[in-house]
Amino acid sequence: MRYQLCAPAAFVVLAALSAASSEDRLQVRCPPLHDKTDQPVTVEVTGPKAWSGKPVALRKGGTTVCAGEFIAAQDGAVAKLAFDPLPWGIRPDVLDVTVAGEKQSQFPAPLVFLGMRGNPPKDEVLAALKSPGGLFPMIDRFGQYRHRDWPGKTATLDDLRRQREAERRDLQDQAGPSGWDTYGGWMDGPQLRGTGFFRVEKHQGRWWLVDPDGSLFWSHGIDCVRSSSGTTPLADRMHYFEPFPAAGTPEAMFLGQQTWAPKGYYQRFQGRPFQTFNFTGVNLLRKYGPAWPATFAQLAHVRLCSWGMNTIGNWSDPDIYLLRKTPYVATCSPGGRDVRQIQGSTGYWGKFPDPFDPGFRAALRRALDQEQGKATGDPWCLGFFVHNELGWGDETSLAIAALASPPGQPAKEAFLSDLKKKYAAIEPLNAAWGTKHGSWDALAVATDPPDKQKAGEDLKAFYTRLAEEYFRTCREEVHRAAPHQLYLGCRFAWVNDRAALAAAKYCDVIAYNLYKRDIAGFRLPAGIDKPVIVGEFHFGALDRGLFHPGLQKTANQQERAAMYKSYVQGALRNPAIVGTHFFQYGDQATTGRGDGENYQIGFLDICDTPYPETIAACRDVGYTMYPYRAEKGGTTGE
């Protein structure tokens, strides 16, 4: 049977063309694409008035996708059917339309993309679906989108080799800034006391890091210096890709498995492993040969120096930073079965760790002990982050979360202990909070939150106590393991003043992930005079074959480069900021990582090819950053 396609971008209408059949009275109206896997697809089926009251169903083989009933309409009968887009729209598929149990027609199920925060443009998808070659596979052997070309796209293995040679000449011509010492500090600037490790000092009204030799140091760095950024899940969407390497071949080593999927489609695997492929790794093998890990590691240090950078940021490969040629930061994420979370808490990345639980300190100590002989005691290591982007909420949230937790939660027990000391009996607390708890034991069992206004003073007080317990424990354990290195905080993404004040009391440097256009005017809460390091920021664009620009969108690579320069120079002018670390070294996979992020945010693309515009901007900033900060930086108090 042939169908006529009458389609604006928002929907298609499929009508049978065969005459002398009841089918030419049936129409199916549906979207060709469906963007949200967690929201139902709505399909409208229309037919003659005689069908009013008759059952209608969409079926795939012997399976009913959804069913309903026709109702009378002005020009006939209509049925609106809604169904879960999965698994019917994973690949171009066909659904049957049955009326009163008899098949009347077929139509293509709305296509749904899996595991990606950003999807291919609709116009390109519709054009590809109608083309002789079809949409799938839509990802080529290098991990690039097949249905578009752009400057720098890799087409052949010879392209990889030409790119390698072109970059080799570029790195020779621009080896790095003059006037830097061994660690990338300002050798030509003021010399302060060297201690053999990195430290912080306010010099002439501006906060600085001081490198082990005593030079002023501003941390210009980049995150995720590693060979795995292009790893992407394959489960349920093998048809997206050109054929993978055959088993037993060298390239097959980049087929793997993972369980990490805190968000998005693959979260439904609930900890079960799913298959992956590392496009970054396979392209490095193709580009540099069997010795690619050592070549890539050495090259990372050469690149960073040439780009005017002096720090390897978070989430990077220890095999690279432990070559000890570029300063780096280390991270500690305590985990294990003995680590309890505050059950009543929420957060983008999960629940908040309970700092009153003895397992919290034990897990932190265990994680730091694993760094012995590596980052701890290493002069090249600036210091340690602990955790990332915790859910700090508002200034009462964690206290309310403690109360919302079940009995036996250590944070809840600590809060109740404070309340007993203050009120002695439950009756004065009930009077203050407007509650009706029959006893302290009843409050321990209760999980309903109190009135935030009436209980606000107590909630805020315990929030402060909990935040200080968290930061104090982290500081003690970091300095126990690494007494000469810096505790860099928890990389705030969502924070309130009360949490920031607690951080200032215990952190040597306070880390923020600041995804903004400009941070020249960034200020800490009143009363805090501490150095700040930016753990993450980025800019991206959609002109190089990826489907999502990240958290700060730009129009193209030229604007992306301009925004990078403007952002870092704004940070250099800010007297509190002692460094910025861009997220990240290489692009994410076109089809997304475990949580679906598929951002064009790298200094390198999936084929390890540098983005020349952003790198040029990085050099403009990095080669001149020390005199720029000295001349144009503000001072605290301004």
Query: Is 33 a residue whose pLDDT tops 50?
Result: yes
The pLDDT of residue 9 is: 35
End-to-end CA distance of the chain: 76
Per-residue model confidence (pLDDT) at position 637? 59
Residue 222: pLDDT band with limits 50, 70, 90: very high
Whether residue 1 has pLDDT greater than 50: no
Whose tokens are 């979207």? That residue is 31
Q: What pLDDT, in 10s, does the model give residues 561-587? A: 999 999 999 999 999 999 999 999 999
Could you give the CA distance from residue 312 to residue 67 in angstroms, rounded to a whole number?
56
Q: Report whether 489 contacts 385 (CB < 8 A).
A: yes
β partners of residue 15: 4, 27
Contact criterion met (CB below 8 Å) for 395 and 456: no
Q: Could you tell me the CA-to-CA distances from 272 to 163, 278, 421 in Å, in that order? A: 39, 19, 47
List CB contacts of 447: < 8 A, sequence separation 6 or more.
344, 403, 404, 405, 406
447 lies in the same domain as 473: no
Q: What 3-state DSSP class applies to 260?
A: coil
Of 84, 153, 82, nearest to 600 by C-alpha is 153
The size of the chain, in residues, is 638
Answer yes or no: do 441 and 525 share one domain. no
d(CA 458, CA 462) in angstroms, rounded, equals 6
Q: Do 210 and 244 fall into the same domain?
A: no
Residue type, 486: L
User: What pLDDT was estimated at residue 335?
Assistant: 79
pLDDT at 22 over 70: no
Q: 457-499, pLDDT tens digit by residue?
A: 999 999 999 999 999 999 999 999 999 999 999 999 999 999 9
How much is the mean pLDDT over the chain?
A: 94
Q: Note the pLDDT tens digit of each residue in 276-332.
A: 999 999 999 999 999 999 999 999 999 999 999 999 999 999 999 999 999 999 999
Nearest one of 493, 532, 500, 495 to 514, comparing CA atoms: 493
Last-in-domain residue among 112, 131, 160: 112
Which alpha helices (DSSP H) does 483-556 contain, by range? Answer: 497-506
Same domain, yes or no, for 187 and 100?
no
Which pLDDT tens digit goes with each residue over 254-269?
999 999 999 999 999 9
The amino acid at 392: W
Pair 29, 15: CB distance under 8 Å? no
In a domain, 151, yes or no: no
- pLDDT for 333-360, tens place per residue? 887 777 899 999 999 999 999 999 999 9
Q: Is the pLDDT of residue 11 over 60?
A: no
140 in a structural domain: no
Residue 130 in tokens: 């109608």
- Phi, psi of 88, deg, nearest 5: -70, -30
User: Checking phi first, is residue 577 left (phi over 0); if not, alpha (psi -120 to 50) or beta?
Assistant: beta
CA-nearest of 468, 473, 469 to 361 is 473
Whether 205 and 264 share a structural domain: no
Give the distance, in angstroms, between the CA of residue 202 and the centroid of all CA atoms in the same chain.
33
- Residue in 323, 327, 259 with CA at minimum distance from that of residue 297: 323
* Same-domain status, 83 and 54: yes
**Residue 5 and residue 12 in contact, taking contact as beta carbons nearer than 8 Å:** yes
Quote the domain boundaries for residue 42: 3-112
Number of domains forming the structure of the chain: 4
pTM: predicted TM-score of the whole model, two decimal places: 0.94
Asked whether residue 122 is assigned to any structural domain, the reply reads: no
- 503-539: pLDDT as tens digits: 999 999 999 999 999 999 999 999 999 999 999 999 9
Residues 570, 468 share a domain: yes
Q: Which helix (H) or strand (E) holds 284?
A: helix 279-288
Confidence of residue 58 (pLDDT cuts 50, 70, 90): very high
What pLDDT score was predicted for residue 25? 76
Residue 365 included in any domain: yes
Residue 7 pLDDT > 60: no
pLDDT of residue 634: 86
Q: Of 190, 217, 244, which one is at a domain's C-terminal end?
A: 217
The percentage of the chain sitting over the pLDDT mark of 70, rounded to a whole number, equals 96
On whether residue 159 sits in a domain, the answer given is: no
Is the bond into 137 cis (omega within 30 degrees of 0)?
A: yes
pLDDT at res. 12: 46
| Residue 288 covered by a domain | yes
**Residues 6+ positions from 277 with CB-CB distance below 8 Å:** 231, 232, 234, 241, 244, 254, 255, 256
604, 605, 609, 613: CA torsion to nearest 10: -60
Q: What is the DSSP string of 391-413?
A: B--STTHHHHHHHTSPTT-HHHH
Instruction: Look at strands 532-536 and 328-332 and give their pairing.
Output: unpaired
- Which residue type sits at 108? P
3-class state of residue 146 by DSSP: coil
* Residue 410: pLDDT over 70: yes
C-alpha dist (Å) from residue 359 to 335, 337, 354, 374, 487: 9, 9, 9, 24, 20
pLDDT(24) > 90: no
**Token pair in block for residue 147:** 């249905």
Judged against a pLDDT cut of 80, whether residue 87 lies above it is answered with yes
pLDDT of residue 16: 39
- Are the C-beta atoms of residues 416 and 458 closer than 8 Å to each other? no
Regarding whether 198 and 92 lie in a shared domain, the answer is no
Instruction: Verify that 267 and 336 share a domain, yes or no.
Output: yes
Domain holding 537: CATH number? Answer: 3.20.20.80
Helix axes 456-481, 358-369, angle to 10 degrees: 30
Return the pLDDT at 337.
76
Q: Exposed, middle or buried by CB within 10 Å (0-12, 13-18, 19+), for 255? A: middle
Does the pLDDT of residue 381 top 90, yes or no? yes
* Residues 478 and 616 placed together within one structural domain of the fold: yes
Shared domain check, 373 and 224: yes
The verdict on residue 601 lying in a domain is: yes
Do 577 and 207 meet the contact criterion of CB atoms below 8 Å apart?
yes
Q: Does residue 143 sit within a domain?
A: no
Considering the domain architecture, whether residues 343 and 466 belong to the same structural domain is answered as yes
Q: Cα-atom radius of gyration of the chain, to the nearest Å? A: 29
H or E element at residue 385: strand 381-386
Least confident window among 26-40, 218-232, 398-412: 26-40
**Is there a contact between 81 and 99 (Cβ–Cβ < 8 Å)?**
no
What is the arithmetic mean of pLDDT over 23-35?
Answer: 83
Residue finishing a domain among 80, 96, 112: 112
Number of H helices, E strands in the chain: 15, 26
pLDDT score for 23: 44
The predicted-structure confidence for 97-149, as pLDDT tens digits, reads as follows: 999 999 999 999 999 999 999 999 999 999 999 999 999 999 999 999 999 99
